[in-house]
Amino acid sequence: MGKILNAVLDKEYKRIGLPNGITKENFLKTFKTLAKDTAQLESSGNTQALNVPLKGKKATSAKGLYQFTDDSFITGMNRLRRYGDVPDVDSVLKLSADQQTALFIANTAQQIGTDKNLIPLLKGIDVEANSRELYSKYHHTNPDEATLKRMNSFF
């Protein structure tokens, strides 16, 4: 794992894992699974993926492993900077897979309200329901029916 991804995971473990009695092993396994499943759902694991609209739909600026839009990339990078040094880049496509994963985790963990899903998820409680809510409410934020159906095959 890269330096910034380790920093994010270490700080988040100290913030929400340790105080809630979650072992580091379970914390890391759960966050890695959430990140892997989200990356597969969003881009089929492609760090260079670009948004391709379905017939009759308009393209968005979403790109990369987790399909950050231009606006959400800026917000996510501001959140990621709280964990340490990050590359000064203007596009998620210029980040490595580990850096994009750090961006995803930092962006998810720092949003107001995510702890109500993260803590039970990390404890192994209602894993599917908590993963779905984290994805649909805090990551994708406006999924259409096709996305929700696809989400259900991952979480």
Nearby residues of 106 by Cβ (< 8 Å), 6 or more positions away: 8, 76, 79, 80, 82, 83
pLDDT bucket at 59, cuts 50 / 70 / 90: confident
Return the structure tokens found at 96.
Answer: 């490595």
Reported as half-sphere exposure (CB side, CA atoms, 13 A), residue 65 has a value of: 21
Q: What pLDDT score does 54 carry? A: 72
Stated as kind and residue range, the H or E segment containing 149 is helix 145-154
- Where does 4-45 show beta strands of DSSP type E? none
The DSSP output letter for 18 is: G
- Residue 138's pLDDT is 96
Average pLDDT, the chain: 94
* pLDDT tens per residue, range 90-117: 999 999 999 999 999 999 999 999 999 9
Domains of the chain: which residue ranges? 3-113
What string of DSSP letters covers 45-89?
A: T-TT-B--PPTT----S-BTTTTB-HHHHHHHHHHHGGGS-----
Closest CA to 30 of 130, 121, 135: 121
